[in-house]
Chain A
């Protein structure tokens, strides 16, 4: 009886988490390079006061037992790394990744993080950074002040020309066996974890790595209609779980009424 209260409560809690995830996806529908999260549910362990297959006498076995579940839980909120739409901006430092891959950035504490947000900036010292000012590594060389033209090819060849002459270099992309296992650090950057696998570096356009597209940004991969449908479902599921709690409560009240 009390267990049914808890399993329904766990159902409400998972639906609350579901709504949190939906709200975060919707809030970031316009965030460059944002990858939506996908919530995954699981049922909890079962208690078995009477086990199916147990001896029932005379060589017979109990055909079906008694199994009582403990409710449900959120197994994971995995990021879905499907491609977002590419949106033309015309800015020469906007570089979208079409396919697998991340830019490697350096965090203030010296550790590496990874991003798909290609809205690059150039700092006063000529360093290529993210919108938050984190230096972008991935083979980017400093861009000299007064540079007039920057051209980035699909396979990562960068040609920079200016009054101090021209230079070329090649940028690389990083990828992971299981990008869904990366840890989100906020600010559009991700960190390697044991679940993601170790980082692999390679040239854009080769060996399954994505290509670079200059003058474009990757939109988020949030599908607003899908999120709205999920929201309706989450709300209803929440409501139904609450009815189950009310019914359990009513039953407990009935028990209390037994004693006059």
Chain B
């Protein structure tokens, strides 16, 4: 009888997930290379409505990462890099595994090795990239060679995935394939720009529209639950009082 109540509750909870996604997207909109999450809904089977076998469905939220490139913005900073087109920078995590990121806001550590914001080495074709003392400013060629002054100190590694939207977030700014069977392919001529950062791909307008849509849907589900509650109330009042 009160399956509608549960459907309404499932809808509220799915919409809350969506709101969490929107909050996260807006909050991280300023993170370079951030890829927004999109919420979609799938139907989960609920209990039987009638004896004829029709069953109720409940909404449930699923999420995927939107891999659209963000806008490139010039910063002029020496260690800011951005990939034009597809692919990811490779970051060596402390456990030895590789993480993938589009956030090219790098630094050098005291050993003059190129590292990301967390201090993990950025991988080149031959392992981490180390600069020379007093070697001058760093730039990058169209082939991805890192040039310091006029010497090539390494080639930045950029790799691609067949379906990047299946990557999982494994920590701040880092992605990795969900299973070990998924292997990336190296990009031969990565178009990496220096002095440039890729902005997050969050569109403020889109998120605001989503927020409006979600708020209204939430309100509607809430009304459905209240109506359900009201009819139950009426039934109880009318049937539970036979003398009247």
Contact = CB atoms under 8 A, between A and B. Distances in A.
A69 B111 CA distance: 33
B242 interface: no
A71 B23 contact: yes
A68 B24 contact: yes
A97 B7 CA distance: 70
Given A41-B28, A52-B166, A260-B226, 12 more contacts: A1-B19, A3-B23, A7-B24, A42-B117, A53-B168, A53-B178, A61-B179, A66-B62, A67-B169, A72-B27, A197-B112, A237-B30
B77 interface: yes
Contact of A258 (B21, B62, B207, B225): B225
A8 B108 contact: no
A8 B12 contact: no
A224 interface: no
A177 B109 contact: yes
B97 to A, nearest CB: 15
Contacts of B63: 64-68
Interface string A240-260: 110110011011001101101
Interface stretch (B46-54, B85-93, B185-193, B210-218): B210-218
Nearest to B31: A41
A71 B24 contact: yes
Contact of A10 (B22, B27, B105, B218): B27
A158 B23 CA distance: 60
Interface residues of A, number: 73
Interface stretch (B129-137, B138-146, B152-160): B129-137
A197 B108 CA distance: 10
List 10 tightest A-B contacts by C-beta distance, closest first: A208-B134, A53-B178, A11-B27, A197-B110, A69-B24, A4-B23, A64-B64, A43-B28, A71-B27, A41-B31
Contacts of B112: 177-178, 197
B229 A260 contact: yes
B33 to A, nearest CB: 10
A70 to B, nearest CB: 8
A65 B218 CA distance: 23
A71 B30 CA distance: 11
Contacts of A254: 218-219, 222
B107 A178 contact: yes
A45 interface: yes
Interface string B15-37: 11101111110111111101001
Interface string B107-129: 11111100001100000000000
